[in-house]
């Protein structure tokens, strides 16, 4: 009787110990990990900025310092600095500006003489391309300048893609907090016009001979008026010796639309303008008066044709709903010339 009771107790104890050991071994790995705080890693959040504010400010300082060095010095080091600071149309524009420094007015010189760039927006999420939007105001005053810096992939550093002076009395609506980042808008959902269509219509309405755009989605502005007036003036001036035409074409992959806090977008884009002159038979056109053309083409006279390429850097504010897009900033830069 006693032996039976003892045997059953020993058996119960053994079963208990085995059960505890099994449970402990099964949960052992997880338990050991949790002893030193190990848990599941968090997932990447799509609605955050991949750059910290400190990183973005360092990038701005590095880019603007390189840009300033590139524009204020000469030689291979200056070229290296410019390539480190600028990309794509931005690099074409600054290269043209440096080439024409001796013949352009001082106002058109560096847009970067600003000690403290103001960081306005950074990209949201981990997709590419990414951007940084910044604003500078020259220390000696003048119009604020909007800058767009872009990075096409993870391995390529941010560089200045466009820089444009703001057009008075334009202002830039606020962006989302820098910690959240701002979205890159690619569709026109919720907007009065898609960024790509806006740019192509704006480019089309500046053509010469004029091709009016019906119901333009943008407000008339002084920049396009000046361009069209200038084209008409050139055409009239050369009418006896040459036939003049002007074509505006949006540069591929230059359009960036940055979402703003109110649902609107700030659209950056570059339009390439080509001024074409077809010299009439028997004419010999002296070009020495156009110092920029002579510097870029090396031609002081043309007998067949000539062309001048200018980049137009523009920035539009597109409202979320109702109204029309407004030009916020614009500048132009001659970048190439050729003649025969």
Partner 1 sequence: MPASTRRVLGALVATVGVVLVVLGSWMVVKLGPSGQAQFSTTSKAPGAVVVASDVLNTVDVPVRVTATRPEGGAVRLAVAPTPDATAIVATSAVSAVNAVHYPAGTMDLRATGSGELGDISTADVWRLAAKGAGSAELVIDQSRAPETVVVTSGDANPLTDVTVTLSWANRAWFFQALAAATIGAVIAAFAMTDLWQSRVIALQSDTAETTTMEVTT
Q: Among residues 204, 198, 159, which one has the least CA distance to residue 315? A: 198
20 binds partner 1 (CB under 8 A): yes
Nearest approach, Cβ of residue 126 and partner 1 (Å): 4
The smaller minimum CB distance to partner 1, of residues 46 and 77, is found at 46
Nearest approach, Cβ of residue 86 and partner 1 (Å): 15
Angle 165-169-174 from CA coordinates, rounded to 5°: 80
Q: Are the C-beta atoms of residues 81 and 159 closer than 8 Å to each other?
A: no
323 binds partner 1 (CB under 8 A): no
36 binds partner 1 (CB under 8 A): yes
Stretch near partner 1 under the rule CB under 8 A, chosen from 38-46, 248-256, 261-269, 317-325: 38-46
DSSP letters of 300-313? SEESSEEEEEEEEE
Binding mask 126-165 for partner 1 (x = CB under 8 A): x------------------------x-xxxxxx-------
Instruction: Give the three-class secondary structure for 296.
Output: helix
Stretch near partner 1 under the rule CB under 8 A, chosen from 49-57, 69-77, 188-196, 205-213: 49-57
51 binds partner 1 (CB under 8 A): yes
| Distance between CA atoms of residues 163 and 315, nearest Å | 9
Nearest approach, Cβ of residue 155 and partner 1 (Å): 5
Give the rounded distance of the alpha carbon of 91 from its chain centre: 12
22 binds partner 1 (CB under 8 A): no
Q: How many CB atoms lie within 10 A of CB 94?
A: 24
Q: Are the C-beta atoms of residues 315 and 267 closer than 8 Å to each other?
A: yes
| Distance between CA atoms of residues 338 and 308, nearest Å | 7
Chain residues binding partner 1 by CB under 8 A are 2, 5, 8-9, 12-13, 16-17, 20, 24, 32-33, 35-44, 50-52, 55, 59, 126, 151, 153-158
């Amino acid at each position: 009787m006693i032996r039976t009771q003892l045997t059953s107790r020993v058996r119960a104890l053994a079963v208990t110990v085995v059960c505890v050991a099994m449970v402990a071994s099964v949960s052992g790995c997880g338990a050991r990990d949790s002893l030193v705080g190990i848990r599941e890693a968090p997932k990447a959040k799509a609605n955050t900025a991949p750059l910290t504010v400190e990183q973005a400010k360092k990038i701005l300082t590095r880019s603007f310092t390189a840009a300033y060095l590139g524009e204020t010095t000469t030689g291979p080091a200056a070229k290296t600095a410019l390539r480190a600071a600028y990309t794509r149309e931005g690099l074409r524009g600054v290269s043209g500006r440096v080439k024409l420094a001796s013949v352009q007015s001082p106002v058109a010189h560096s847009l970067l003489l600003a000690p403290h760039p103001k960081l306005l927006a950074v990209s949201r999420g981990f997709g590419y391309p990414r951007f940084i939007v910044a604003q500078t105001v020259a220390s000696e005053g003048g119009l604020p300048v909007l800058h767009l810096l872009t990075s096409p992939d993870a391995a390529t550093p941010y560089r200045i893609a466009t820089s444009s002076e703001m057009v008075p009395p334009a202002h830039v609506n606020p962006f989302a907090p820098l910690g959240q980042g701002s979205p890159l808008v690619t569709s026109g959902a919720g907007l009065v016009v898609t960024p790509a269509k806006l740019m192509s219509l704006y480019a089309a309405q500046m053509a010469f001979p004029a091709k009016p755009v019906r119901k333009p989605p943008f407000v008339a502005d002084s920049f396009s008026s000046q361009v069209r007036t200038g084209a008409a003036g050139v055409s009239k001036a050369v009418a006896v010796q040459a036939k003049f035409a002007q074509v505006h074409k949006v540069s591929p992959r230059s359009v960036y639309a940055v979402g703003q806090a109110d649902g609107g977008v700030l659209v950056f884009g570059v339009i390439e303008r080509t001024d074409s002159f077809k010299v009439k038979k028997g004419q010999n056109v002296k070009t020495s008066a156009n110092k920029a053309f002579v510097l870029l083409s090396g031609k002081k006279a043309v007998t067949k044709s000539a062309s001048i390429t200018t980049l137009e850097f523009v920035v539009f504010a597109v409202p979320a709903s109702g109204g029309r897009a407004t030009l916020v900033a614009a500048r132009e830069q001659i970048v190439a010339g050729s003649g025969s």
